[in-house]
């Protein structure tokens, strides 16, 4: 299902992007990975998610190669700084290195990958300086649970946080209890990572479940595509599935044209309900 997502700063983005963890690590798969990214860019997807951590910069370098020739302003590039680099002494250099690998002079969004020992105030102050210098257009966070989000929205300039990127898929719906309602109330969209439960590896029973199979048969799609259709059906959420095989990328883009109806969602909810109490944020 196609949706437009409004960021707190007024920017509008689409509800699906390209995940790139583990891409760019092997020479043997490089060409197909580049082909996948370009296929997505040529077919209406413009958000690319990466991180300095992914292959120690390999993913950013691969993206740099894949986006050569594309108009920069047609793209929305998201990268992440490691918590250990998120202080005043390292973040500016980290950002510079990320830009160099990507072959660009700004990021559309820079995320704190997860919370470390550096204070949120310091990281946010630096993010705002990067914004003022034009190196990044906006910033957000990742892997933050409700207490962290509460803190972020209460520190100076914390209201500039544009997104929280967290794990979310049909078999892991803990964020629906209180985290997502809280960020939704602040108009902060959720960016769902592992929307395919890593191809089912994170919860293999998902792909064998009755409800998923029934819906996959109804629409003539695969069980994995049902997982993606489920996250794409959520409000205020951007899904960033990763596909390094062209066949997979095509199937994922096809999901944008499938609309799960109320009955489908009810069926999925009956087998994989959201928890009715707070559970710790899943990270895998």
Ligand X SMILES: NC(=O)c1ccc[n+]([C@@H]2O[C@H](COP(=O)([O-])OP(=O)(O)OC[C@H]3O[C@@H](n4cnc5c(N)ncnc54)[C@H](OP(=O)(O)O)[C@@H]3O)[C@@H](O)[C@H]2O)c1
Contact residues toward ligand X (CB under 6 A) are 19-21, 49, 113, 142-143, 165, 193-199, 222, 224-225, 240-245, 248, 251-252
Task: Give the number of other Cβ atoms within 10 Å of residue 112's Cβ.
Answer: 29
- Measured CA to CA, the distance from residue 172 to residue 155 in angstroms comes to 29
- Cβ-Cβ contacts under 8 Å for 259 (sequence gap 6 or more): 1, 233
DSSP 33-86: HHHHHHHHHHTT--EEE--TTGGGGHHHHHHHHHTTTS-GGG-EEEEEE-GGG-
Q: Minimum distance between the CB of residue 79 and ligand X, rounded to whole angstroms? A: 10
Closest CA to 165 of 100, 240, 218: 240
CA atoms within a 13 Å half-sphere pointing along the CA-CB vector of 225: 24
CB of 191 to ligand X, least distance (A): 8
* 179/266 with CB nearer ligand X: 179
Active-site residues, by number, are: 54
Q: Are 16 and 249 in contact (CB under 8 A)?
A: no
Residues contacting residue 90 through CB under 8 Å, at least 6 positions apart: 84
User: Minimum CB separation from ligand X for residue 276, in Å?
Assistant: 25
Q: Which is nearer to ligand X, 217 or 263 (CB)?
A: 217
Closest residue to ligand X, judged by C-beta, is 19
CB of 50 to ligand X, least distance (A): 6
For ligand X, give the closer residue by CB, 196 or 267. Answer: 196
Least distance in angstroms from the C-beta of 137 to ligand X: 19
Cβ 110 to ligand X shortest distance, Å: 13
- The whole-angstrom separation of Cα 99 and Cα 95 is 6
- Round to whole Å and give the CA distance between 263 and 260: 8
Q: Which of 173, 171, 237, 244 is nearest to 207 (CA)?
A: 171
Angle between helices 246-254 and 223-232 (to 10 degrees): 50
CA atoms within 13 A on the CB side of 116: 12
- In terms of CB distance, is 156 or 165 closer to ligand X? 165
Nearer to ligand X by C-beta: 21 or 263? 21
Q: Which is nearer to ligand X, 72 or 245 (CB)?
A: 245
């Amino acid at each position: 299902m196609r949706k437009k997502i409004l960021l707190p700063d007024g920017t509008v983005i689409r509800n699906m992007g390209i995940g790139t963890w583990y891409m760019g690590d092997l020479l043997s798969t490089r060409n197909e990975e580049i082909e996948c990214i370009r296929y997505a860019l040529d077919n209406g997807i413009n958000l690319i998610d990466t991180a300095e951590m992914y292959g120690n910069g390999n993913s950013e370098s691969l993206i740099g190669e894949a986006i050569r020739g594309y108009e920069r302003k047609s793209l929305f590039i998201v990268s992440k700084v490691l918590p250990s680099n998120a202080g005043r002494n390292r973040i500016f250099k980290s950002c510079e290195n990320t830009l160099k690998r990507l072959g660009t002079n700004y990021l559309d969004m820079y995320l704190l990958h997860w919370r470390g020992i550096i204070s949120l105030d310091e990281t946010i102050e630096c993010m705002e300086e990067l914004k003022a210098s034009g190196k990044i257009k906006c910033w957000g966070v990742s892997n933050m649970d409700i207490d962290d989000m509460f803190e972020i929205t209460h520190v100076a300039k914390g209201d500039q946080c544009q997104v929280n990127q967290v794990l979310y898929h049909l078999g892991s719906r803990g964020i629906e209890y209180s985290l997502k309602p809280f960020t939704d109330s602040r108009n902060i969209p959720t960016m769902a990572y592992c929307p395919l439960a890593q191809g089912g590896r994170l919860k293999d029973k998902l792909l064998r479940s009755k409800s998923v199979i029934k819906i996959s048969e109804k629409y003539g799609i695969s069980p994995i595509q049902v997982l993606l259709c489920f996250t794409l059906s959520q409000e205020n959420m951007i899904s960033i599935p990763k596909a390094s095989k062209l066949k997979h990328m095509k199937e994922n883009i096809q999901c944008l044209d499938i609309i799960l109806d109320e009955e489908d969602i009810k069926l999925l909810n009956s087998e994989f309900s959201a928890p009715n109490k707070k559970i710790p944020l899943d990270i895998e």
